[in-house]
Chains A and B, each alone.
Chain A
């Protein structure tokens, strides 16, 4: 398995082998959380702790974005008093956190995932349904079945 040195190299010299989807975890209600269960397809590609750290950090970001507390009450009341016109002018707290998340994912991709031939797609681009992790194989190698043999086994549930 070859290693890729940066994202550009990944995109140009690798071909997409497979995609893994991390589903939402609804055990705490409708707030945005993703399952931290380590998918078996990534077992050979990345360490479990790194993956879990990424997902946990993302979950924390989303929890921060959706937190209901003193500040959000004030913002809500202020918005109501202005007939919600304030949403047209101001960037909401959620949007600010989403920007932070995008930066974090970019950073994780560059430092950790791309060197291992993986790429995380920001969940906002998938409607917050899943975290999509693309697994790339080096085009030079003929391992068209290496990334896939583990997929058909009954797994990620």
Chain B
């Protein structure tokens, strides 16, 4: 093998995969090849790909859009505060001292469970690593499908003698487990997804459903309790012919409480009742709304997850062991990763000073300085042989769905799924060019891969073999096919 001018990039020197704001989606192939200095190891929450916000160094998390969570908190604090300030002294004097005690306990319950619902990981599933995604793709592709239509996006499994369809999640690159749904607001797959609650500013899923249920139940008790107490208070004050207006003037805070409680108690009670029904039948809001088990879609469709016993259902939802958080927020991002096991969606490609990469509109222009002949490299087409990536290859990701690999020409180690597609596409894109070189060799998914194609005059295609001699300038076209 003759020596080449271009520098092979040692993957050990690749910068630690970083992603500065968690919700940014870097443009395909963007930026110049700046080398990033080696930084202190980062925690995984800093590079989390979903739309979440983290506090206290990853201990607390919420959805990025906190919704009306401040309003919820404010209403609860204001109403309870007014209750303790205005109503309790009077009621303690005239009735019993238990009232502030009960109110206090309920208030603490409501506040604690609200905070736990909002700040706990609802059961987010971390996204699949690239190798897993490739493995799943290969299994789908193995049906011998040589046309380029999208492969089936559902998989069927049998649960308790019932056929359940598992859907493929394109963002997370995996088949979703049963009862898992992808929340578009948080951009995460959440296990046993119930709903995204704007009032608590977080998704409600497997891990925080019990907190949420306790929250709404205790809140309905608290609201009803305050409502009852305020009514009693005002009734007592208005006794003796003094009238309601007099009572309200004496205790203006009660008017506010009355209004808030009156308007909210019905919806909160309704919600509690609804969720009690869901808990007793082991359903999620998601399933109930879609009518998955109501028998609309077919006969004999019952909820396969229900234990057919209300008590057991309640216990399995509320008293089951608390599952662990799967996203490991406070773990450290591994600093040394070989190029092929990098779990990041995107990575700035690291280049030497002889080559540069920039994006102009829809095309990518690469300049390499390869001087020597590399004629012993050849790639057989129409072959789906999978071989491992060589150790010294540069891996650059241009978009969340594709990876481009530049491999040293001395090694014929490359995955070529489905290379025949490349040539079909090339014939559409560049008809006059008889010479071209395939650059992209690793696909994430046939159905939505973006293909980078290199064109160069020095490369010759003969029959089914592709070999190249040398190149100085390479132009890459960005194509996509569905």
How many chain A residues touch B (Cβ–Cβ < 8 Å)? 51
Known contacts A18-B388, A128-B326, A152-B386; is-contact A66 B321 (Cβ 8 Å): yes
Question: Which among A26, A85, A130, A156 has the highest number of chain B CB atoms within 10 Å?
Answer: A26
- A59 CB to closest chain B CB (Å) equals 16
The CA-CA distance from A156 to B139 in the complex, in Å, is 7
Give how many B residues have a beta carbon under 8 Å from the other chain's beta carbons: 59
Are B320's CB and A66's CB within 8 A?
yes
Q: Is B385 in contact with A148, judged by CB distance below 8 angstroms?
A: yes
State the Cβ distance, B61 to closest chain A Cβ, in Å: 15
Q: Is the CB of B321 within 8 A of A93?
A: yes
- Which residues of the partner chain A approach B157 to less than 8 Å between Cβ atoms? 26-27
* Min distance, Cβ A43 to any Cβ of chain B, angstroms: 17
Flag B306-333 by CB within 8 Å of A: 1 or 0 each. Answer: 0000001001101111111011100000
Q: Give residues of chain A (59-116) contacting chain B, Cβ–Cβ below 8 Å.
A: 65-68, 72-73, 75-77, 79-80, 83-85, 87, 92-95, 98
A86 to B327, CA, bound (A): 22
| In the complex with contacts A19-B135, A126-B132, A129-B132, A29-B316 CB distance below 8 A | no
| C-alpha gap A93/B319 in the complex (Å) | 12
On whether the beta carbons of B160 and A155 are closer than 8 Å, the reply is no
Please determine whether A30 and B210 come into contact, CB atoms closer than 8 angstroms: no
Q: Which of B369-411 contact A (CB under 8 A)?
A: 384-388, 390-391, 411
Question: With A and B bound together, what is the CA distance between A132 and B138 in angstroms?
Answer: 16
| Chain B positions 117 through 135: 1 when the CB is less than 8 Å from some CB of chain A, otherwise 0 | 0000000011011011001
In the complex, the number of residue pairs spanning A and B with C-beta atoms less than 8 Å apart equals 134
Contacting pair B318 A75 (CB below 8 A)? no
Look across to chain B and name the residue whose beta carbon is closest to the beta carbon of A135.
Answer: B388
A-B contact pairs, 29 of them (CB 8 A): A15-B391, A16-B338, A18-B388, A24-B177, A26-B159, A26-B164, A29-B304, A30-B177, A30-B178, A66-B323, A68-B315, A68-B320, A76-B315, A76-B319, A77-B319, A80-B210, A83-B116, A84-B113, A85-B112, A92-B324, A94-B322, A94-B323, A124-B324, A127-B126, A129-B125, A130-B132, A132-B132, A144-B390, A148-B386
Which 6 residue pairs spanning A and B have beta carbons closest together? Answer: A76-B319, A154-B142, A127-B126, A83-B112, A127-B326, A26-B157
Q: Give residues in A with beta carbon < 8 Å to B.
A: 15-19, 21, 24, 26-30, 65-68, 72-73, 75-77, 79-80, 83-85, 87, 92-95, 98, 124-130, 132, 144-145, 147-149, 151-152, 154-157
Query: Hey, which bits of chain B sit against chain A, CB under 8 A?
Result: 108-109, 112-113, 116, 125-126, 128-129, 131-132, 135, 138-139, 142-144, 157-160, 164, 166, 174, 177-179, 191-192, 210-211, 214, 304-305, 312, 315-316, 318-324, 326-328, 338, 340-341, 384-388, 390-391, 411, 413
